[in-house]
C-alpha cells in the first residue's frame, strides 16, 4: 500500500458546500486545514494557532 498525502484543500473544494461563503471566495480564501485542537485552540498544518470562537 502506498502512502499518499491527502490534499485536504482540494478535497474540500470537490466535496464540501459552505453555505455561508460564495463559491468564488474559495479561490481567494482557501480553507484552513486544522491538524489538531487543544482546549479552545485549533492548530493548522503549519502549527499556527487559532482560537475557536464559532464551535457550539
pLDDT digits (tens, 9 = 90+) for 8-53: 888 988 888 877 777 777 778 888 899 999 999 999 999 999 999 8
Chain centre distance of CA 44: 8
Q: Residue for cell digits 503549519?
A: 46
Burial of 2 (0-12, 13-18, 19+ CB in 10 A): exposed
Q: Is the pTM of this model over 0.85?
A: no
- The per-residue pLDDT for 49 is 97
> What residue segments make up the domains of the chain, in order of their start?
8-51
Amino acid at each position: 500500500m502506498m502512502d499518499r498525502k491527502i490534499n485536504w484543500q482540494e478535497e474540500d473544494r470537490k466535496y464540501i458546500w459552505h453555505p455561508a461563503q460564495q463559491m468564488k471566495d474559495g479561490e481567494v480564501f482557501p480553507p484552513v486545514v486544522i491538524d489538531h485542537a487543544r482546549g479552545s485552540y485549533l492548530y493548522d498544518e503549519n502549527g499556527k494557532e487559532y482560537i475557536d470562537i464559532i464551535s457550539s
